[in-house]
Amino acid sequence: MKKAVYSRIRRLRSAMFIAVVCSLVFIMSGGFADETDTTKESGWIALFNGKDLNDWTIKFKDHPLGENYKNTFRVEAGILKVSYDQWESFNDIFGHVFYKDKFSRYKLRVEYRFVGDQVKGGAGWALRNNGVMLHCQDPKSMAMDQSFPVSIEVQLLGGDGSHSRTTANLCTPGTHVVMEEKLVKQHCIDSRSETCHGDQWVTVEIEVNGNDRIRHLIDGKVVLEYEKPQLDENDKDAQVLIKAGAPLLVGEGYIALQAESHPTEFRRIDLLPMD
């Protein structure tokens, strides 16, 4: 009888030891990974989960909301791709993919690169060209034939191998900004960045403070800054929003990526909310 009791105690202790070891391994490994788990840095949120586009909404010009025209936006091997392998010609069918939530004050980190050749029919200025759109209007409010959402664009450009061409520039579809206390109505403004040639991965960071200051950074260095993003009262797309009651100063909105005719890859899109 005693031997049987002692045997059961030894088995119980052994089982408890195994359970404790497994629990420690689980905790040290970070537990179960979630699709929207934060990155290794405290507080950062992975907007792109590396698996699918379930948290994103697609809108192409002349096509209904949600239609992924010619399978342009896709996820392959953990990379969010803007692909044109099913296109014959571009025909100015611009596209955007929007993250599901709106944000106001945050830091955004995006790793991107340009690959392959531009699709036939793409404009010269769209060569090795993409963009991160900030403070975007709701994609549901875009007109069927609207090319770009009303937003602030952090323009991403790649070099052609020989000429100088900055990246993390500013473009303003339907908007204006203030620089050095002056309202700037110029559509695109170059940054102070170096040129990024080839298919190298580039990391751009953006610091967004609602309707106050916005800064673009490359390798931790500020290459462009401005403030007071606002709707352009003379732009037809912005006029629709103004008529619907949108404030002139733009302090929040959606985040989107572009499809402007050149294949692009994104392997990381992370956001750090700020109070």
Question: Domain range spanning residue 10?
Answer: 1-32
Arithmetic mean of pLDDT, 156-171: 95
The pLDDT value given to residue 42: 86
Pick 79 or 22 by higher pLDDT.
Answer: 79
Q: How confident is the model at residue 10 (pLDDT cuts 50, 70, 90)?
A: low
Pick 257 or 23 by higher pLDDT.
Answer: 257
> Does 175 lie in the same domain as 196?
yes
The pLDDT value given to residue 144: 98
> Does 47 lie in the same domain as 22?
no
Q: How confident is the model at residue 180 (pLDDT cuts 50, 70, 90)?
A: very high
> Does 119 lie in the same domain as 17?
no
Average pLDDT, rounded, for the chain: 89
| CA distance readout (Å), 15 to 3, 23, 134, 226 | 18, 12, 54, 62
The pLDDT value given to residue 32: 35
> Does 40 lie in the same domain as 28?
no
> Does 158 lie in the same domain as 41?
yes
> Does 256 lie in the same domain as 160?
yes
Contact 153, 191 (CB under 8 A): no
Q: What SS3 state is found at 177? A: strand
pLDDT per position as a tens digit, 33-56: 344 444 567 899 999 999 999 999
The pLDDT value given to residue 80: 98
> Does 180 lie in the same domain as 110?
yes
List all residues 6 or more positions away from 151 whose beta carbon is below 8 Å from its beta carbon: 133, 134, 135, 136, 137, 173, 174, 175, 253, 256
Asked if residue 30 has pLDDT above 90, the reply is: no
The pLDDT value given to residue 6: 46
What is the domain count for the chain? 2
Q: How confident is the model at residue 24 (pLDDT cuts 50, 70, 90)?
A: very low
> Does 114 lie in the same domain as 66?
yes
> Does 46 lie in the same domain as 26?
no
Contact 87, 139 (CB under 8 A): no
The pLDDT value given to residue 40: 61
pLDDT per position as a tens digit, 185-231: 999 999 999 999 999 999 999 999 999 999 999 989 999 999 999 99
- Let me know if 214 is exposed, middle or buried by CB neighbors in 10 A (0-12, 13-18, 19+): buried
Arithmetic mean of pLDDT, 153-157: 98
> Does 105 lie in the same domain as 220?
yes
The pLDDT value given to residue 275: 76
The pLDDT value given to residue 168: 98
> Does 262 lie in the same domain as 237?
yes
> Does 181 lie in the same domain as 58?
yes
Q: What is the pTM of this model?
A: 0.85
pLDDT per position as a tens digit, 50-79: 999 999 999 999 999 999 999 999 999 999
Length of the chain: 275
The pLDDT value given to residue 11: 52
Kindly state the percentage of the chain with pLDDT values over 90.
83
**Which CATH number characterizes residue 260's domain?**
2.60.120.560
Kindly state the percentage of the chain with pLDDT values over 70.
85
